[in-house]
């Protein structure tokens, strides 16, 4: 239920803001990998190094994410649109990508632009989502252009110098 603003207008306005695209992963106690496409990811603090993202309460991943102590953020590269689509679909997600286990078994996906490994600091409620705040322990970059999401579509980066 939305307050004064119409849900469509809210979505449209948010769609004007381009974001990167991540797949955030973790493992359950038995080592089964879980992951989902997330564009609400962002940096929160430099000292200590904190990041945040939000997950809808009804997500299939939520019960595992809510218990997990460690996560990996896979910042998708420009040629990983299909990975973004797979990780918000009902497919067997991890059979469609090459990956390895990182810190506390959180999956690191091959071909990403960056991997950010973190442990949970806080979990807060925010409307129909939960906000995850995590402390970064490791980060690696691979000098690949990122995948962008804008107005419900995918793109990549062209810098002013390249235009």
Ligand X SMILES: Cc1cc2nc3c(=O)[nH]c(=O)nc-3n(C[C@H](O)[C@H](O)[C@H](O)COP(=O)(O)O)c2cc1C
> Site residues (CB under 6 A) for ligand X?
21, 36-40, 53-56, 59-61, 84, 88, 149
**Residue 49 or residue 154: which is nearer to ligand X going by CB?**
154
Instruction: Give me the least distance between CB of 161 and ligand X, in Å please.
Output: 27
Instruction: Give me the least distance between CB of 34 and ligand X, in Å please.
Output: 8
Per the CB < 8 A criterion, the answer to whether 66 and 123 are in contact is yes
Instruction: Give me the least distance between CB of 39 and ligand X, in Å please.
Output: 4
**Residue 10 or residue 60: which is nearer to ligand X going by CB?**
60
Instruction: Give me the least distance between CB of 128 and ligand X, in Å please.
Output: 9
In the three-class reduction of DSSP (H, G, I as helix; E, B as strand; rest coil), residue 136 is classed as: strand
**Residue 47 or residue 146: which is nearer to ligand X going by CB?**
146
**Residue 47 or residue 153: which is nearer to ligand X going by CB?**
153
């Amino acid at each position: 239920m939305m307050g004064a603003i119409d849900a469509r207008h809210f979505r449209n306005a948010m769609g004007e803001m381009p974001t990167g695209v991540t797949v955030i992963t973790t493992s359950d106690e038995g080592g089964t990998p879980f992951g989902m496409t997330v564009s609400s990811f962002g940096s929160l603090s430099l000292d200590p190094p904190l990041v945040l993202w939000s997950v809808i309460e009804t997500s299939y991943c939520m019960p595992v994410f809510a218990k997990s102590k460690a996560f990996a953020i896979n910042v998708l590269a420009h040629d990983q649109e299909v990975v973004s689509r797979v990780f918000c679909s009902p497919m067997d997600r991890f059979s469609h990508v090459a990956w390895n286990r990182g810190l506390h078994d959180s999956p690191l996906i091959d071909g990403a632009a960056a991997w950010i490994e973190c442990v949970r600091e806080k979990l807060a409620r925010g409307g129909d989502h939960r906000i995850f705040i995590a402390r970064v322990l490791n980060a690696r970059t691979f000098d690949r252009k990122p995948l962008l999401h804008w107005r419900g579509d995918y793109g990549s980066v062209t810098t002013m110098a390249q235009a």
